[in-house]
Structure 1
């Protein structure tokens, strides 16, 4: 009887592996297990699924302590050594146990003790028709800059990071599609992974891919999928049958045995950074994975992250530029600033903006009003005594949702009915302060009663499929005035949209977050890029963008009007370098949560001195900006270093010391934090 020992990892916070015993008689057919396979195991009083790291002839664990494997999942092809190496790197770099990286990266149905879902998915996958030869549909003619970008990607040998910097509407998607087509044509078994930052961007790109590659298997992977559907698409990628995989950040850890090209659309987007559990950056892992596999990676954006832009300026990335819009006679919109100190708004709209909307309505064109604040109003207040609708569980206001007759916290989910009178003084004249998308929708309906006003935000698209249906209405011309949050700011190609207005963008100018101005510029440039993407009619008015602000002389708005990202980025990088901030400094953030803020701060003070830290700067512990969420107080401690290896070595030793500290404080460490 053949007997071996298996070293496995489990989805636990324990940074260790476990040895188990396996005998040929245990598995029908006597197939030997191998690294990368899943196994059912007894663990304590439970039965769990683990991942084999190593198959060994011997083990140091005493025989009396060894337990037997319950079953090996031979029906599933083993995960590759390259995929295991990717998980190991992510675990080491982001300082998490390997099991907490590898197992959560797999579909939930794959980790069930009963294999009914897996068996059904395998049978269903086997019956799906697949056309092996790639027959692309008609390809639009590329302009010289687009052609140069495609050639650079396809002709690269080995690891080649490219930053595709193109103005909005410059045809970056076409560069993605034609690069994909040529890679797939050159390499019969090749796979291409395309990442987008948000779920609502997948339907439009998916339709482009399906139209261009009829008969070719495409997998989509994102958190909005049902578990059975996600398992089927994951299996298609894992077995190599899906030649193109389209997904959000979770697709970065998918198993793709024949991956030959990585594409990251809107690479600047903060959504690529996971904000819980394994706090990884899908963009950064994409670059590492491309290096691991010696393949090209294409990062695309009209407003690249400062990290990527700095690497392009220092020639660590190959900079590919698209300076003109791809559609002939489609020009960039004219961006104008409306000074709110001189032009007083009514219900949030200046007369100049109202006139501009009227003009577009008369011409049968669409307008977009961008307000990155959902709900009816940010707060409900009493003028008599000063009461405001604060959340009792968070350091935040309850947002007024007038249509639902609710006050709602956007952080912990607490809901209350709108009070009939002030809870403090009994005043019945409570007033909404500020405006969200719902209030703007109400105002626009009053100003333009004949117009078809439509709102797209997280509240209006809660149901599955509702976001795709909403955008389809806009594309079909069933909307005259669109109101939207950041959901509408990027990636969407509205052919008949000629006016964009940005309302209330000034708050980010004075944020304590040093990334706020970078994000605001990207947001405004992206939403401005929704205008004028179709060819301008001869003699017609150019598309325009109106920005209502109280600070018209701010350098950010001047750079925006000139569509000048390079100079804006140059100035920001100079500020960052002078202030010793990323990308010129490497950071890790220790967060602590407790019932009392003093407890969290005391823990962080102890953490600051528990480990030697030569070459490491440890800042003072401070409360987080949103100090209290769901009755839990939160504080943070930032550590920095000019050396990434030095920071990594310190954090590794630091975490070991933190685990030895006796405390009831819940804590976590994030490498390369994006929200401080």
Structure 2
């Protein structure tokens, strides 16, 4: 009988699979990695199906070079999810499948678990060791440790006897001990168990309702004010799933939140293996944790958006913390929303999914209002003595600012310094100042590679582009007119930090942004320093806005927020409200009351008025009404075809050609091509074409037909991609 033909997924930018002769494979090998010849190179691929026939003559097919791994790494369940992603986001299936694998598995590397050696007493060892001389203290200590019958690692043996190696070697020769190899633990450092606090009535009700849904698909929105104890609800739900032998997938938006939340779960479940998955991990470490999820040893998997594709054979619950966060959107390659993919995974798996947030995305809120999701509310802070902070506006039109700080905010900071409490100054712009300007001729430092300004980093004496990474030295004079009086314009975290150190010379000021936390482990060290009371004033960006609990922090000051009020992006006000409510929630989370001071020129703006009332529900209602009237999501469904070329005219020409090939239908609106908001980035000109429809299914059918034609268009000098449900237009 002729060998089977394998349909193999390869990471190439074409929407098809490739046929190879597979002499040794059977239907049980779907999901296995293989090495295959492709052109003049060898590629790593994944077998997606096997058949007897091919659309190509069998004698023209190449043969699989090697079969990797002992068993398939991607289950039928994950392959089904990846097919959905490929279809929904109209991205090549091969590239979609390979993107779901850890980087180490995209190379011809064997997927083997990292192991450690351990030693265990044999039956004869139990007998012989009992007769050890009384004066052989080190040997007797070692024997006492091994007497429990368990296998012990080298580090454990060393605690009993520093010279254990020679003793163990001798005992092996006597047949007293046997050497074992076992998977290296994911949690190397033991921790003390944390005692679960008693849930309040709202937390208990939420936990009971979600627990009752285990074993079936049900999406829940856990809408809780900041500090309401959503994490404690998660912990109790995980306890319920573990008791039934299941696995839990927990997604968080930022890498910086992963170690903190991992610590919380490890303290509650010290005996449970917890796998962490994020792009900041070394390739080998990430592979080790991923494989622990695959074989079910990791009962809890906690990670950023890429963890949504981790195979988990006993998956019983998915939790998405801060579900509104834009970090759940992948912005290159397979452009997907991890929240939406997780919902589809829960549906396919028939398990509940919990979306937690104090400020849910409007799409999520709309689904909860329409009954698609079940809404559960936590309206009070979890600590009985803690109340929501008082939010006040400071009219900066009537106050003179010193390095961005008003007298009213400075007075509030001094009050905290006097009482030994901490303050947080939030400004969502890193660097010293947004740009460098010449007051004489109006020159401003622009990026030569992007259509944006260079940011001043004064300490490094550099101008930097935060989009492409371009950097240059700060000039001594204006390049246009020669004026020596050029100066930074606007505020950044460095400038506010410097100003605070001048105003409060004895205060300990700590700046937290992407620049100050570049070094590995710097952010966790900073958090420990804050909790130990070694910091008086924090200055930071959105890194500080979410997920952090600093009990002694009672004041939040917001600087420079007005710039987002009148953005052309229709999502800007939603993002700003969520960000300010999140950062406000850092204040007064323990026994001391919190206060939030927002400096603004628009004290009566509806967004600020809603913040003062902590009224997410009212403001969400206002925004949804505006979007319904304007025809924006979630009341319409969108996709954007983007093109990048050396010249803008080439990108526009390609999009016009694509528009000419669009299927004709009155149910889908195809707009004219237009330059992107940032038309030039990293020496590439960018343009976009928006399509939208009131019906998601109709839009998907349109995109499916349209993409078939677009792949046939010549695009040798440019790159293009489709963005379905775009976060930005």
Instruction: Give the TM-score of the pair, scaled to structure 1.
Output: 0.95
Identify the residue that residue 561 of structure 1 maps to in structure 2. 612
Identify the residue that residue 175 of structure 2 maps to in structure 1. none
Equivalent residues in 2 for 1:282-301, closer than 5 Å: 282-301=338-357
Instruction: Give, in angstroms, the shift of residue 603 of structure 1.
Output: 2.1
Instruction: Give, in angstroms, the shift of residue 109 of structure 1.
Output: 1.4
Are residue 71 (structure 1) and residue 58 (structure 2) matched? no
Conserved? CA contact 1:7–1:18, under 8 Å: yes
Are residue 113 (structure 1) and residue 113 (structure 2) matched? no
Instruction: Give, in angstroms, the shift of residue 474 of structure 1.
Output: 1.4
Cα distance, 1:123–1:94 mapped onto 2, change above 3 Å: farther
Equivalent residues in 2 for 1:235-250, closer than 5 Å: 235-250=291-306
Q: Which moved more, 1:367-376 or 1:665-674?
A: 665-674
Conserved? CA contact 1:191–1:261, under 8 Å: yes
Equivalent residues in 2 for 1:180-191, closer than 5 Å: 180-185=238-243, 187-188=244-245, 190-191=246-247
- What is the root-mean-square deviation in Å for CA atoms of aligned residues? 1.7
CA distance in 2, matches of 1:110, 1:578: 48
Conserved? CA contact 1:77–1:239, under 8 Å: no
Instruction: Give, in angstroms, the shift of residue 390 of structure 1.
Output: 0.7
Identify the residue that residue 452 of structure 1 maps to in structure 2. 508
Identify the residue that residue 373 of structure 2 maps to in structure 1. 317
CA distance in 2, matches of 1:606, 1:72: 43
Conserved? CA contact 1:121–1:231, under 8 Å: no
Instruction: Give, in angstroms, the shift of residue 256 of structure 1.
Output: 1.1
Equivalent residues in 2 for 1:32-111, closer than 5 Å: 34-111=29-106
- What CA deviation, in whole Å up to 9, does each residue of 1:367-421 have, x standing for no partner? 0000000000111111122211111111111111011111111111111011111
Identify the residue that residue 629 of structure 1 maps to in structure 2. 681
Identify the residue that residue 413 of structure 1 maps to in structure 2. 469
What residue ranges of structure 1 are gaps of 5+ in the alignment?
25-29, 537-541
Are residue 639 (structure 1) and residue 691 (structure 2) matched? yes
CA distance in 1, matches of 2:696, 2:624: 19
- What CA deviation, in whole Å up to 9, does each residue of 1:31-53 have, x standing for no partner? 88611111111111111111011
CA distance in 2, matches of 1:112, 1:264: 30
User: Counterpart of 1:424 in 2: which secondary structure?
Assistant: coil
Conserved? CA contact 1:122–1:232, under 8 Å: no
- What CA deviation, in whole Å up to 9, does each residue of 1:621-674 have, x standing for no partner? 221111111111111111110010110111111112222222333211100001
User: Counterpart of 2:256 in 1: which secondary structure?
Assistant: helix
Cα distance, 1:122–1:32 mapped onto 2, change above 3 Å: farther
User: Counterpart of 2:618 in 1: which secondary structure?
Assistant: helix
Rg larger in 1 or in 2? Answer: 2
Instruction: Give, in angstroms, the shift of residue 609 of structure 1.
Output: 2.4
Q: Which moved more, 1:2-11 or 1:323-332?
A: 2-11
Identify the residue that residue 227 of structure 2 maps to in structure 1. 169
CA distance in 2, matches of 1:208, 1:120: 26
Instruction: Give, in angstroms, the shift of residue 568 of structure 1.
Output: 0.3
User: Counterpart of 2:459 in 1: which secondary structure?
Assistant: helix
Identify the residue that residue 204 of structure 2 maps to in structure 1. 147
- What CA deviation, in whole Å up to 9, does each residue of 1:594-636 have, x standing for no partner? 1222222222222222222311111222211111111111111
- What CA deviation, in whole Å up to 9, does each residue of 1:170-210 have, x standing for no partner? 0000001110111110x22x110000000001111100100
CA distance in 1, matches of 2:72, 2:672: 50
Identify the residue that residue 650 of structure 1 maps to in structure 2. 702
CA distance in 2, matches of 1:58, 1:596: 46
Conserved? CA contact 1:130–1:215, under 8 Å: no
Identify the residue that residue 360 of structure 1 maps to in structure 2. 416
Instruction: Give, in angstroms, the shift of residue 435 of structure 1.
Output: 1.0
Conserved? CA contact 2:449–2:468, under 8 Å: yes
Identify the residue that residue 545 of structure 1 maps to in structure 2. 596
Instruction: Give, in angstroms, the shift of residue 78 of structure 1.
Output: 3.8
Conserved? CA contact 2:37–2:65, under 8 Å: yes
Identify the residue that residue 503 of structure 1 maps to in structure 2. 559
Conserved? CA contact 1:11–1:99, under 8 Å: yes
Instruction: Give, in angstroms, the shift of residue 130 of structure 1.
Output: 8.8
Q: Which moved more, 1:588-597 or 1:522-531?
A: 588-597
Conserved? CA contact 1:130–1:216, under 8 Å: no
Conserved? CA contact 2:99–2:334, under 8 Å: no
Equivalent residues in 2 for 1:232-631, closer than 5 Å: 232-536=288-592, 542-614=593-665, 615-631=667-683
Q: Which moved more, 1:14-23 or 1:644-653?
A: 14-23
Conserved? CA contact 2:27–2:50, under 8 Å: no
CA distance in 2, matches of 1:647, 1:436: 42
User: Counterpart of 1:228 in 2: which secondary structure?
Assistant: helix
What residue ranges of structure 2 are gaps of 5+ in the alignment?
118-180
Conserved? CA contact 2:26–2:50, under 8 Å: no
- What CA deviation, in whole Å up to 9, does each residue of 1:528-584 have, x standing for no partner? 000000123xxxxx3100000001110000000000000000010011111111000
Cα distance, 1:205–1:413 mapped onto 2, change above 3 Å: same
Identify the residue that residue 144 of structure 2 maps to in structure 1. none
CA distance in 1, matches of 2:262, 2:580: 25
Identify the residue that residue 20 of structure 2 maps to in structure 1. 20
- How many aligned residue pairs are there? 659
- What CA deviation, in whole Å up to 9, does each residue of 1:104-157 have, x standing for no partner? 111121122243xx33636799433599xxx97421100000001111111115
Conserved? CA contact 1:370–1:483, under 8 Å: yes
Conserved? CA contact 1:33–1:72, under 8 Å: no
Conserved? CA contact 2:293–2:311, under 8 Å: yes
Identify the residue that residue 27 of structure 1 maps to in structure 2. none
User: Counterpart of 1:330 in 2: which secondary structure?
Assistant: coil
User: Counterpart of 1:103 in 2: which secondary structure?
Assistant: helix
CA distance in 2, matches of 1:661, 1:67: 28
Instruction: Give, in angstroms, the shift of residue 521 of structure 1.
Output: 0.2
Conserved? CA contact 1:367–1:499, under 8 Å: yes
Match of residue 666, structure 1, among 719, 724, 727: 719
Cα distance, 1:129–1:628 mapped onto 2, change above 3 Å: closer
Conserved? CA contact 2:186–2:274, under 8 Å: no
Conserved? CA contact 2:455–2:463, under 8 Å: yes
CA distance in 2, matches of 1:644, 1:436: 41
CA distance in 2, matches of 1:451, 1:74: 57
Instruction: Give, in angstroms, the shift of residue 468 of structure 1.
Output: 1.7
User: Counterpart of 1:464 in 2: which secondary structure?
Assistant: coil
